[in-house]
Homo-oligomer: A and B are copies of this chain.
Amino acid sequence: MPKRKVIHREKPKEKFSYDPKKVLSKLEEYGRSVLEAIKSGKNPYFDIPMRGLNNVYFDEKSRLIKMGDKLSRRYFLNVAHARKFMQTLLIMAYVKRLVSEGKHASLREAYYANKHTIPGTRENTFEDQRESDPIIEDLERMLGVLREEMHITADRRGYIYGDIVIRDGEDEFNASKLGSGGWAVPGTVEHIQFPEINVDYALVVETAAMADRLIEEKFPKKENALIIATQGQASRGVRRLIHRLHYEEGLPIIVFTDGDPYGWYIYSTIKQGSINLAYLSDKLATPEARFVGMTMDDIKRYGLENVTEKLKGIPPNKKGGPTGDYKRILEEMEYPWFQNREWQRQLKLALKWGVRIEQQALANKSLEFVAKEYLPEKINSGDLLP
């Protein structure tokens, strides 16, 4: 039996719930309301929660970025709205077909499926995917459902490795028995279930190379951890998976990124959601996630001065500055969830030293170092950032 760890699985907070009928009934409701308006000679419209910074706020209580209540009204009889009104209806009808037939489509497929020339004109219903993507986003906000629930899949990226059993449709398999490859996370994870979970926590890793290193060093087995490789910024599928593993399965989430503004932003997105997708925060974000590294303190503590890299851009005290990494750090210092002593300290140190430190820089000590010393030490002593 493994020794008692500081980090261990907790009590679940949410239940698995996914109901396609909810989406269908909402769509039909909107259709009927348009029809009624036009019948009675009124200009039909949709009310769409506004996107953008103006309609976003940080909810201190839930500690999530949330969408405000500003609406924009999209009329049929308005030269500036008419085309979008038509497009909204087209996508709504398409989603209805997808969901009722149990099919999934990518954003690109949804675009192509709905693109055609409007009879008697040289105009297409959609000229460009840049027209259909925002309509789908609008629908997410209007209906309050994830695009995945509308059966429109996100780009997939990321894989997992560790001793958990996954049920995907008829298949059931253990994600630690798939060789070194791990299991590729699909675009949609709504339908996936976890019949068996034998790990204490999930370690979210920014780079594939680092995840592979940990797999090669047998870290998941030794430390009873699930590795989730995001391969850069976490895809929606991975973020939803993290959310579900935490809330439905009670897995503590620990994030391991490069020690640079981009890495910290990845952490921030997993933890709080992003401004673009604020309306989905309560389905995609995991505010309880914690951060193991890399931190600025690691540089001194593990003697990594030699393998830091310079921050890109112009520092704030130089002419033309701040730009690049410096600008990003200054922005991150303003994030509400970084308003604590520990994070402010890290960010200030980065500014002061003008350096960044990568996960893989730990290889400078030895290949095993990260798996045998760095991570176990920090995680088991609870040396984590909020």
A interface residues with partner B (beta carbon < 8 Å) = 103-113, 115-117, 124, 153, 155-156, 159, 166-169, 171, 173, 177-188, 192, 207-209, 212-213, 216, 306-307, 358, 360-364, 366-367
| Chain B residue with the shortest CB-CB distance to A128 | B309
Label chain A's interface by main secondary structure: mixed
| Of B112, B173, B208, B362, the contact of A179 (CB 8 Å cutoff) | B173
Asked whether, in the complex, the Cβ of A105 is within 8 Å of the Cβ of B363, the reply is yes
Those 8 A-B pairs whose CB atoms lie nearest each other, nearest first = A168-B179, A106-B209, A109-B363, A184-B184, A159-B184, A108-B360, A112-B363, A180-B186
| Of B110, B177, B306, the contact of A116 (CB 8 Å cutoff) | B306
Knowing A103-B367, A173-B173, A364-B112 are in contact, say whether A192-B209 is a contact too (CB < 8 A).
Answer: no
Knowing A179-B168, A179-B173, A212-B104 are in contact, say whether A367-B109 is a contact too (CB < 8 A).
Answer: yes
CA A201 – CA B213 in complex, angstroms?
32
Given pairs A108-B360, A124-B306, A187-B209, 14 additional interface contacts (CB within 8 A): A106-B212, A112-B307, A112-B361, A113-B363, A113-B364, A115-B306, A117-B306, A168-B179, A168-B181, A171-B178, A173-B173, A180-B186, A180-B188, A181-B186
Contacts of A185 in B (CB 8 A): 181
Asked whether, in the complex, the Cβ of A178 is within 8 Å of the Cβ of B179, the reply is no
Contacts of A153 in B (CB 8 A): 209, 212
Contacts of A107 in B (CB 8 A): 209
Interface centre among A109, A167, A182, A213 (most CB of B within 10 A): A109
| Chain B residue with the shortest CB-CB distance to A103 | B367
Contacts of A181 in B (CB 8 A): 159, 166, 168, 183-186
A54 vs chain B, min Cβ distance (A): 32
Knowing A115-B307, A364-B113 are in contact, say whether A208-B180 is a contact too (CB < 8 A).
Answer: no
Number of copies: 2
CA A117 – CA B171 in complex, angstroms?
52
Knowing A103-B367, A212-B153 are in contact, say whether A108-B178 is a contact too (CB < 8 A).
Answer: no
Asked whether, in the complex, the Cβ of A179 is within 8 Å of the Cβ of B169, the reply is yes
Contacts of A184 in B (CB 8 A): 159, 181-184
Asked whether, in the complex, the Cβ of B367 is within 8 Å of the Cβ of A105, the reply is yes
Contacts of A106 in B (CB 8 A): 209, 212-213, 360
CA A207 – CA B277 in complex, angstroms?
24
Asked whether, in the complex, the Cβ of A112 is within 8 Å of the Cβ of B358, the reply is yes
Asked whether, in the complex, the Cβ of B155 is within 8 Å of the Cβ of A209, the reply is yes
A-B contact pairs, 8 of them (CB 8 A): A107-B209, A112-B362, A156-B208, A168-B178, A168-B179, A171-B179, A180-B186, A184-B184
CA A171 – CA B176 in complex, angstroms?
9
Asked whether, in the complex, the Cβ of A213 is within 8 Å of the Cβ of B180, the reply is no
Contacts of A187 in B (CB 8 A): 208-209, 212
| Chain B residue with the shortest CB-CB distance to A108 | B360
Contacts of A192 in B (CB 8 A): 179
Contacts of A367 in B (CB 8 A): 103, 105, 109, 113
Contacts of A113 in B (CB 8 A): 363-364, 366-367
Contacts of A358 in B (CB 8 A): 108, 112
| Chain B residue with the shortest CB-CB distance to A115 | B307
Knowing A112-B361, A115-B307, A307-B115 are in contact, say whether A216-B104 is a contact too (CB < 8 A).
Answer: yes
CA A216 – CA B216 in complex, angstroms?
32
Contacts of A216 in B (CB 8 A): 103-104
CA A173 – CA B216 in complex, angstroms?
18
Asked whether, in the complex, the Cβ of B108 is within 8 Å of the Cβ of A209, the reply is yes
CA A181 – CA B186 in complex, angstroms?
5
